[in-house]
């Protein structure tokens, strides 16, 4: 059975979903992604020795700022009052940085796009900050890890 698309009306036209009848619940989404780079580039990030400055601080702020602007990038997304957005980094791999963003809201619709956007823009900021030393970095594996709240309940990536 094919599920009906929520952003398309009966005439096949794109529409913004009406969330006015949905219940207000606490919603959370966690997204992840990776920026792959050479160990030498990662060493410079870790030692905060890149000429542009603190890569992770800039990427964290960029991700948070972007999460607040999702409806400006993705036309059918609702403006959501975000309660919290965090962007964290794991530098334990030898060839890259893993990014994890968590978005929370108490509202009528989910925050998956906000978490995914935070990861994506944080990754782009890392690329921008490091491109003078390495242009061959790869932004990869951006995905939704978990989401909770709302009518559809909990999702956990397997």
Rounded to 5 degrees, what are φ and ψ at 33?
Answer: -170, 170
128 is catalytic: yes
Contacts of 27 (CB under 8 A, 6+ apart): 104, 105, 106, 107, 109, 110, 111, 147, 148, 149, 150
Q: Which of 83, 88, 128, 141 is catalytic?
A: 128
Give the residue numbers annotated as catalytic, written as ranges: 128
């Amino acid at each position: 059975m094919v599920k009906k698309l929520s952003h398309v009306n009966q005439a096949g036209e794109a529409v913004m979903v009406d969330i006015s009848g949905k219940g207000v619940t606490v919603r959370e989404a966690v997204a992840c992604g990776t920026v792959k780079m050479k160990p030498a580039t990662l060493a410079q990030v870790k030692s905060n020795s890149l000429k542009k400055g603190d890569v992770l601080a800039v990427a964290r702020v960029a991700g948070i700022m972007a999460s607040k602007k999702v409806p400006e990038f993705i036309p059918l997304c609702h403006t959501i009052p975000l309660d919290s957005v965090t962007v964290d980094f794991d530098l334990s791999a030898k060839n890259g940085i893993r990014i994890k963003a968590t978005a929370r809201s108490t509202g009528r619709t989910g925050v998956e796009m906000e978490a995914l956007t935070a990861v994506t823009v944080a990754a782009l900021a890392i690329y921008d900050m490091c491109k003078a030393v390495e242009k061959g970095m790869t932004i990869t594996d951006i995905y939704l890890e978990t989401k909770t709240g709302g009518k559809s309940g909990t999702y956990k990536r397997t």
